[in-house]
Structure 1
Amino acid sequence: MRTLIIHNPKSGFGSDAIFEFERSLVHQGDTCTFHEIADGETPEELVRNAEDYDVCVLSGGDGTVTGLLHALRYRDVAACVFPSGTANLFCANVGNAMEPAALARACRVGHTALTDIAEVHWHDAEGTEHSRGFGLMCGMGFDAQLMSSAIPNKKSMGEIAYFAAALENPRPVVSHFTIFADGVVHECDGITCMVANNAMMQGDIEIVPDCRMDDGLLDVIVLETSDAVHVLKPIFAGILDRSGKSIGRPQIQTFTGKDIRVVSSEPIPLQVDGDVIEGTVTSYETSIYPAANRMIVDSMSRYHAEDSEAPRFSGTDEIAYPEA
């Protein structure tokens, strides 16, 4: 089995779990290339030789792994996401068991699912166009402000840093959003407008129901409130109704589409998978790449096909890849 591990050593709390994973993964006769991401390296550069391997393991925070998945779209190689970040929400949305040994087994078994990846475009204040991939959400407004405020405390406080940041800004700015979803125009007022490929947050709470990364669609989420305390309402609703199908989500309006354009009434911050973009923007555009990645999944994942063949790893060393 041939494996490429791409690891961001600056993500999360600096855990050594990726090395425990590597020890569990590599058997006699295997080959494994371990690459630590250096400053300035682009996702495209990091995966340029991806087809030389059976599996590419992407280790880092949400922004790192989804950027690499975007670079791997429609490439002929299986990808495994390893949780090395702070929140690891993308890994939680995939739903695999997160223990290093369990993920190593999933790689050797080799069951995969085809998943979507998204792309966002925006212009900075000087008019220069930028683009990047995302797997979770991008959004403008209050969510980007929260991400920016949480950055100094993420290393020490972890996920709690986001809640602390929310309490620091109790009266966020309400903006008017004009949303174009596959040609249909929606006018909304709110403190944030997000576009999601995955919409499950901490505690397995789905912000909107049935938001999956294998349906070829994006979900637009507008938080319609002027009070940060009201942000807690959909969270409390999610505790009682994790899927969002029974009592819904108060203060939230949603739409779906393949191509989304969001225009704000004023320049506001933008975040992409938790990474805050420098400066402010007045609009952004998103699109979806359906079935773009061949993702490693185990039987815990909601993307594991119910009618797939029996798992090849069941107390044995049988693997999905031929020995070299």
Structure 2
Amino acid sequence: MRCLIVHNPRSGFGSDAVFAFERELVHAGDECLLRELGDGFVAEEALADAEDYDVVVLSGGDGTVSSLLYALHGRAVTTCVFPSGTANLLFANIGNSPEPSALARACRWGDTVRCDLGEVLWRTKDGEQHRRGFSIMAGSGYDAELMNAAAPNKRAMGEAAYFMAALADPTPRVVHYVIEIDGTRVERDGIACIVANNAMIQGDIEIIPGCVMDDGLLDVIVLEVGDAVQLVRPFLAGILDRKGKGIGRPHIESFRGRDIHVSASVDIPMQIDGDVIEGTVASWQARVLPGANNLVVDGLSRYRDPNARTTPRFPVDEELAFPK
């Protein structure tokens, strides 16, 4: 087996777990290249030779992994997401076992699923167009303001930095949104408009029930509240009903589609998988890239095909406990 591990050493708390994963992954006769990303890396350059490997492992936070997945979209590359970031929400949504040894065995076993990716497009004030992929969520408004406020403390405080940022801004700005979903127009007032490919956040809380990344659709989420205090109701509903099938999500309205255009009444910040873009925007577009990536899954993942392969693609250590 030939394996490429692309690792961002600055993601999260600088965990060395990826090296334990590498030791479990590589067997006698295998080849493995560990490629560390530097500041200002270009994802396309880091993955230019991805097709030369049997498995490509993406190790980093959600922002890093999403940019790498976008560089791989539409390419015939078997890809494993390794959680090396702060929140690792994409990995949580995939649902694989977090143990390095189990992930290594999943790579050797070779079960995969084609998963969607989102693509967001926007223009700066000088008219320059930008595009970027997202695997979890892209949004404008309060969510981006929280990400921006949490950024200086995220490495030291982890997920607690987001809660501290929320407490520091109890009265977010209410914005009028005009949203087109596959040509259908809706108008709403709220503090944020978010487009999601995955909608499970910290604590295994699903913001929108039934949001999955293999249906060829994106979910549009509008937080229709006037201040941060009103977010307590949907937050408590999420704690009491994590899947959202009983209580629902008060103050949260959602829509579903393939091509979404969002316009706001004022210029506001925007975030893409937790990374806040430079400047502000008044309008942006998101669209789904169906089946964009071929992701490794194990027996714990809800995306695994129950009729998946019964023999490993590469030799495995049978004595290792692993969810088949």
> TM-score with structure 2 length normalisation?
0.96
The equivalences for 1:115-264 within 5 A come to 115-264=115-264
User: Residue 284 of structure 1 corresponds to which residue in structure 2?
Assistant: 284
| Superposed displacement of residue 311, structure 1 | 6.0
- The residue type equivalent to 2:263 in the other structure is V
| Superposed displacement of residue 40, structure 1 | 2.9
Question: What's the CA shift string for 1:118-176, capped at 9, x where partnerless?
Answer: 10001112221111100000000000000000011111110011011001000000000
User: Residue 275 of structure 1 corresponds to which residue in structure 2?
Assistant: 275
Question: Which one is further off, 296-305 or 235-244?
Answer: 235-244
User: Residue 109 of structure 1 corresponds to which residue in structure 2?
Assistant: 109
Question: What's the CA shift string for 1:247-266, capped at 9, x where partnerless?
Answer: 21001010011000000000
1:314, 1:261 → 2: CA distance? 49
2:260, 2:311 → 1: CA distance? 38
| Superposed displacement of residue 310, structure 1 | 3.3
- The residue type equivalent to 2:194 in the other structure is M
2:308, 2:102 → 1: CA distance? 19
1:260, 1:311 → 2: CA distance? 41
Give the secondary-structure state (helix, strand or coil) at the position aligned to 1:122: strand
- The residue type equivalent to 2:169 in the other structure is N
| Superposed displacement of residue 51, structure 1 | 0.6
| Superposed displacement of residue 301, structure 1 | 0.5
- The residue type equivalent to 1:278 in the other structure is E
Give the secondary-structure state (helix, strand or coil) at the position aligned to 2:235: helix
For structure 1, the residue ranges without an aligned partner over 5 or more in a row are 318-324
The equivalences for 1:21-36 within 5 A come to 21-36=21-36
The equivalences for 1:313-324 within 5 A come to 315=318
User: Residue 7 of structure 1 corresponds to which residue in structure 2?
Assistant: 7
Give the secondary-structure state (helix, strand or coil) at the position aligned to 1:108: helix
| Superposed displacement of residue 39, structure 1 | 2.2
* 1:311–1:87 Cα change, 3 Å: farther
Give the secondary-structure state (helix, strand or coil) at the position aligned to 1:230: helix
- The residue type equivalent to 1:297 in the other structure is V
1:316, 1:167 → 2: CA distance? 49
Question: Which one is further off, 87-96 or 70-79?
Answer: 70-79
Question: Which one is further off, 308-317 or 271-280?
Answer: 308-317
* 1:242–1:248 Cα change, 3 Å: same
Cα root mean square deviation, aligned:
1.2
1:67, 1:232 → 2: CA distance? 32
Give the secondary-structure state (helix, strand or coil) at the position aligned to 1:194: strand
| Superposed displacement of residue 80, structure 1 | 0.3
How many residue pairs align between the two structures? 317
Question: What's the CA shift string for 1:183-232, capped at 9, x where partnerless?
Answer: 00010000000000000001111000110000000000000001112222
| Superposed displacement of residue 308, structure 1 | 2.2
- Whether contact under 8 Å (2:111, 2:309) holds in the other structure is no
Question: Which one is further off, 201-210 or 123-132?
Answer: 123-132
1:9, 1:64 → 2: CA distance? 11
* 1:311–1:238 Cα change, 3 Å: farther
> TM-score with structure 1 length normalisation?
0.96
User: Residue 305 of structure 1 corresponds to which residue in structure 2?
Assistant: 305
Give the secondary-structure state (helix, strand or coil) at the position aligned to 1:126: coil
* 1:299–1:271 Cα change, 3 Å: same
Query: What percentage of residue pairs aligned between the two structures are identical?
Result: 59
Question: Which one is further off, 224-233 or 144-153?
Answer: 224-233
2:275, 2:229 → 1: CA distance? 24
2:20 aligned with 1:20: yes
| Superposed displacement of residue 284, structure 1 | 0.7
| Superposed displacement of residue 94, structure 1 | 0.5
For structure 2, the residue ranges without an aligned partner over 5 or more in a row are none
2:318, 2:37 → 1: CA distance? 35
Question: What's the CA shift string for 1:88-127, capped at 9, x where partnerless?
Answer: 0010000001111111111111100110011000111222
1:158, 1:69 → 2: CA distance? 24
2:223, 2:49 → 1: CA distance? 42
User: Residue 58 of structure 1 corresponds to which residue in structure 2?
Assistant: 58
| Superposed displacement of residue 235, structure 1 | 1.8
Question: Which one is further off, 5-14 or 121-130?
Answer: 121-130
